[in-house]
Amino acid sequence: MKTVAVVGGGITGLTTLYYLQEYLKDEEVRLLLIEGEHKFGGKIKSIPSDPFIIEAGADSIVSRHPGVLELIGEVGLMDELVYNETGTSFIYTQDTLHKIPSDSVFGIPMTIDSLMESTLISDDGKRAALRDFETVNETFTKEDSIGDFLESFLGKELVQNQIAPVLSGVYSGDLYTLSMSSTLPYLLDYKNDYGSIMKGLWINREKHQGKSNKKFVSFKTGLSAIIDRLDERTPHSEKYKGNGLESLQKAGGTYSLELTNGEIISADAVVLAIPHDQARKILGHPVLDEGFSLLKNKSLKSIYLGFELPDTVLPADGTGFIVAEEQNGVKCDACTWTSRKWKHTSLNSQLLVRLFYKDSNPHWEQIHDLTQDELLLIALRDIEATIGIKGKQPILQEVTDWSGLMPNYNMEHAQSVRQLETNLAVEFPGVMLAGASYYGVGIGACIQNGKKTAELLSSRLR
């Protein structure tokens, strides 16, 4: 009987385990899941705190991502689905909340009307953006910077004032150091195929917006529902919690895995669905070091604030804002109006907001070292300045710290992953890397990668 060890009990590892169980159900294979923490979930962690539900990590899943609704249906969670409330997102600049125009994707307008609607762009900036319909791509490839690409065809002002605040928030990095291949590769296809980025987005608008524009999903009890259900639906696997992988050594045609409690396990194949720095330490091979060293992480802190206030105190039809740059002392990078965007997170629609502070913030060194009480004072000043809530103490506060844990896909990312795959196949045949460190940020990308990993591995084991 062959043994497969999946290391990492986050969404990628659990999805991999689930599909391995499905694909190998007629084979004699022993499946193991090894997780160093005492709970499965990784960056997914729902915390019920009456009258609120808060998410310590990601707050939703992109429903259109391949495999997402399929997996949710397979594990019987369709009846538990909740969709985001649609509404307006804002960019806070010059002491004002400016609407991100409708008919835009990541701040990129899909139509001329959407471009003209923007209060973030001057008339000169709008004229510069219209060159998108006249210019031809002759040099850009998917390995080039997405910032340079967008600026070349849409103009610097539109990119800096409207697109960069949105995209930098999604991908945790400077657009000029992020490649198209690791962010939005289809934009190059649109420019080449339709002659215009905006025209391509409009023609493919159903893919990006959908009929209802409800693109994101969660569950009535929080995102951890999918973690718990995947755990329940993999009953024939042996699972280790609070007992992580310390080292991996070759042992003939198999691998010897040493756990933190000293236990030794023999495995024929191993999936490392853990952050790249942990995988590098476990493998400990100099040939892999260069590839691993080029992979980068960013940092993030967030704080939830819950109030005994109705969320009608917020601007009508809004779901949150992004800060373009520091504005008169406002230090947060973004704020989600959680109770407005996700009705299930707040009983009786009491106000729940989540503020984000990123390591690209000029105040990060100060923010990183703050106590929870000190961060609370900054957060309260930020919401007073931006949405006018003053003199109210929260009935809930929850800080989450993801320092050094947010994958950042720089220009070398795709090449680094290819290099790692090549060297790993030679030095550690049967060992696979998986997860957000390599194959896409977001829960949807992790689900897709987990399924693909299971497909590849099961085909080798049959």
Longest dimension (CA), the chain: 69
Task: Tell me the pairing of strands 52-55 and 46-49.
Answer: antiparallel
Q: How confident is the model at residue 327, as a pLDDT? A: 64
Question: How many residues can be counted in the chain?
Answer: 462
Non-local (6+) Cβ contacts of 84 within 8 A are 60, 214, 215, 216, 217, 218, 319, 341, 342
Q: Among residues 352, 83, 97, which one has the least CA distance to residue 219? A: 83
List helix spans (H) across 35-185: 68-74, 112-117, 123-129, 146-154, 156-158, 164-171
Amino acid 214: pLDDT: 65
Instruction: Read off the pTM.
Output: 0.91
Counting residues of the chain whose pLDDT is more than 90, the rounded percentage is 83
CATH number for domain 104-208, candidates 3.30.1280.10, 1.10.3110.10, 1.10.10.10, 3.40.50.720:
1.10.3110.10
Asked if the model's pLDDT at residue 182 lies above 90, the reply is no
Region 47-66: mean pLDDT is 93
Question: Closest Cα partner for 40 from 226, 216, 259?
Answer: 226
Looking at domain 2-42+223-295+409-461, its CATH architecture is: 3-Layer(bba) Sandwich (3.50)
Q: How many CA atoms lie within 13 A of 221 on its CB side?
A: 10
Overall CATH class of domain 80-86+300-401: alpha beta
pLDDT for the residue 210: 58
Mean local confidence (pLDDT), 156-176: 89
Other CB atoms within a 10 A radius of the CB of residue 81 amount to 16
With 60 as the cut, is the pLDDT of residue 211 above it?
no
Asked if residue 212 has pLDDT above 60, the reply is no
**Directed axis angle between helix 286-293 and helix 276-283, to 10°?**
170
List, for residues 264-306, the tens digit of each pLDDT value: 999 999 999 999 999 999 999 999 999 999 999 999 999 999 9
Domain residues of the chain, as ranges? 2-42+223-295+409-461, 80-86+300-401, 104-208
Decide whether 2-42+223-295+409-461 matches 104-208 in CATH topology.
no
